[in-house]
Copies of this chain bind each other. A is one copy, B any other.
Amino acid sequence: MNRSTSSPPLFKRVYLLGTGLIGGSLALDLKDSGLVETVVGSDSLPERSESALSIGILDEIQPMVPEVVRRCDLVILAVPVLNLREILSTGFEKDTLVTDAGSVKGDAVSGYREAVAAGRGYRYVPGHPIAGDEKSGPEAARRGLFVGARVILTPVDASRQDVSDVSALWEGVGGRIKIMDPDEHDEVFAWVSHMPHMAAYAIIDSVLARDPDLVDLSGGGLRDYTRIAASNPRMWADIAVANREKLLIAARGLGDSLNKIISALEEGDHDRLESAFQRIASVRRSLK
């Protein structure tokens, strides 16, 4: 990951908004690799900005105002999804190159388009690194978080050069770039990530509604779900609302599949259950 010391940085000075797990880990690796020389930025919580400074995520705490952003070659928005849309819709100066790390892309692109429509357009390359876990905050940031991670970019009207530069940034920290349409991205993730996450919440919620003490008796089964359901509640409420139309379709699809199992159970139909389970289990074997 280290570039030769003679290579010039890809971006000399970067503005980072949001110094949590994603933003913080990215900044640490970008500086280590020599891809970026200086990271200035801030977090919505002052104590997190201070913490990011002391950890070495930020070189300077600076507010995100035009005179600061103007001196930067790239703005990275690593903030919760709903804040992201608001910031993108407010706009930046015309020459500013902006990327982000939000899990929902249609909503972010809508924000960008609002800015364009209001004459406050900028250079925007939407991004989504598939990385992270239940932890959050600057203290959770760690080097190497993106090694081997898929990073989706969903450019709408960015130049080839801007897409290439933002790709190089993520590849430089170990990411594997995939270009998708924002709408396709949101549909895929509604099914493979957001809906399964809602399911984990529903499972734990139903057990709690029955008897909270049951959770303590869980062997392997329930424990996997409690881990998933322990993720940042604010972040997941944001994601659910930002991707709500596609997520609703996936959640209703889950309801249909659950009802199929319930009806086979009501009929005590062992063969139907076994052949359904067989078909579902075989997916694992075909996974790359």
Contact = CB atoms under 8 A, between A and B. Distances in A.
A229 interface: yes
Contact of A273 (B225, B240, B288): B240
A216 B287 contact: yes
Interface string A194-209: 1111110111111111
A41 to B, nearest CB: 26
A160 interface: no
Nearest to A207: B191
A71 interface: no
Contacts of A118: none
Contacts of A208: 279-280, 283
A101 to B, nearest CB: 14
A233 B281 contact: yes
Chain A at the B interface: SS class? helix
A222 B281 CA distance: 13
B218 A261 contact: no
A188 interface: yes
Contacts of A240: 265, 273
B254 A258 contact: yes
A206 B283 contact: no
Contact of A215 (B221, B277, B283): B283
Interface string A245-288: 00110111111111111100110101101111111110111111
| Nearest 10 Cβ contacts at the A-B interface | A230-B284, A233-B277, A237-B274, A193-B221, A206-B257, A202-B257, A206-B253, A130-B219, A205-B257, A237-B273
6 contacts: A201-B276, A223-B287, A229-B281, A230-B284, A238-B270, A241-B265
